[in-house]
Amino acid sequence: MTAALRLLSAGPGVTVQDGGRHGFLRYGVTGAGPMDPFAHAIANRALGNRADAAAIEVSLGGLELTVEGAPVTIAVAGGDFQIVLDGQALPPAVVARLEPGARLKLRAGPAGVWCYLAVAGGLALPQVLGSGATHARTGMGGLEGRMLQAGDRLPVGMATTGDTPAGVIVAPPLERPAGTIRVLLGPQDDYFAADQITAFLAGPWTVSARGDRMACFLEGERLSHKLGFNIPSDGVAMGAIQVPGEGQPIVLMADRQSTGGYPKIATVIGADLGRLAQARPGTQLAFRAVSHAQAVQARAEEHAFLTSPIAIEPLTRSLFSSEFLLGLNLVDGWVDARRRS
């Protein structure tokens, strides 16, 4: 019997994301993929899936679903979300078995912006240009190229409940304070005088409510350019920090355009992209310049964690009793400030 997830509600900005669409940047096609690639990979790896398997990326708007057809095993990892399965609160990084008819609720918790719901066997959705990643702006990938909504049915790849026992995913804290984000300067840092580079690194920068999957907007003291702010368009990597004319940095994220025409003062290192993505509007942060070797070292540490077995500890039921649940403030009316621009 084919198992499927049936969505009962989905806030704005909930999409299907796999490891991203690769090989078509040269034709203007953005990679898309998860905003927090580390959390996305952990959710998949906890189930024995490929790290880049398709999973649901849940936004601050939250998600509620039920299971149809056959039991499934799911894993959730990412920001500090509130997870409730049939009235029972679960910890924010968890593997659980869902019987048909079970109701799973994910709601924004005290911190974090994105969390990932992976399912053993993966989601069975058609691929576009080799990937199931949703790029809603161009209507590509995922389910009909759009954000998910109530009523959607997502078939599960291979009807398997997986071998993974239910339990708590033992991972480095996924809820990491933004604090200082590491960057490599460039590729156009020479468009800025030395004092402007210093001001950029020191911040403090405040994460604006304007952000979405395309970009994280920062607010702070205006930066000025030494060489103007128009450059012939060149390639843009995820994490590129461009500074347009008004001097407020914009960090380009998973759904960014493939090329851009503003000077890029620095680029967030791969290991810190997820931490930046999880910073809520209003969060203050600063940047620290590191060397290429340091950035590669941080990347290698994440890679080593993801390629070794992920430990699952048994759930201590008493910790998550209904009394505990009642003690939580399960806010139902989250409004997603991260609207599409």
Residues at the site binding other proteins, with contacts judged by CB under 8 A: 22-29, 128-129, 137-138, 140, 184, 186-188, 190, 227, 231-240, 257-260, 264, 267-270, 292, 295-296, 299-300, 303
Q: How far is the CB of 69 from other proteins (least distance, A)?
A: 30
Q: How far apart are CA 227 and CA 47, in angstroms?
A: 50
Q: How far is the CB of 48 from other proteins (least distance, A)?
A: 22
Beta bridge partners, 185, equal 266
Q: How far apart are CA 266 and CA 282, in angstroms?
A: 22
43 versus 273: smaller Cβ distance to other proteins: 273
3 versus 268: smaller Cβ distance to other proteins: 268
End-to-end alpha-carbon separation of the chain, Å? 41
Residue found by looking up tokens 């911040």 in the block? 203
- Encoded tokens for 203: 């911040």
- The three state secondary structure string of 7-61 is EEEECCCCEEECCCCCCCHHHCCCCCCCCCHHHHHHHHHCCCCCCCCCEEEECCC
Q: How far is the CB of 181 from other proteins (least distance, A)?
A: 12
Q: How far is the CB of 104 from other proteins (least distance, A)?
A: 33
167 versus 187: smaller Cβ distance to other proteins: 187
22 versus 103: smaller Cβ distance to other proteins: 22
Helix (H, G, I), strand (E, B) or coil at 187: coil
Q: How far is the CB of 247 from other proteins (least distance, A)?
A: 18
Consecutive H or E run containing 97: strand 94-98
199 versus 237: smaller Cβ distance to other proteins: 237
236 versus 315: smaller Cβ distance to other proteins: 236
CA 283: distance to chain centroid? 17
Residue found by looking up tokens 């806010």 in the block? 331
Q: How far is the CB of 18 from other proteins (least distance, A)?
A: 16
99 versus 301: smaller Cβ distance to other proteins: 301
Q: How far is the CB of 270 from other proteins (least distance, A)?
A: 6
182 versus 280: smaller Cβ distance to other proteins: 182
DSSP 210: T
Answer whether 10's CB lies under 8 Å from 149's CB: yes
Q: For the chain, what percentages of helix, strand and coil (3-state, to nearest 5) are there?
A: 20, 30, 50
Consecutive H or E run containing 294: helix 292-307
Q: How far is the CB of 9 from other proteins (least distance, A)?
A: 30
- Encoded tokens for 219: 């607010």
The count of other CB atoms within 10 Å of the CB of residue 53 is 24
Q: How far is the CB of 279 from other proteins (least distance, A)?
A: 18
Taking alpha carbons only, the member of 22, 73, 71 closest to residue 44 is 73
28 versus 282: smaller Cβ distance to other proteins: 28
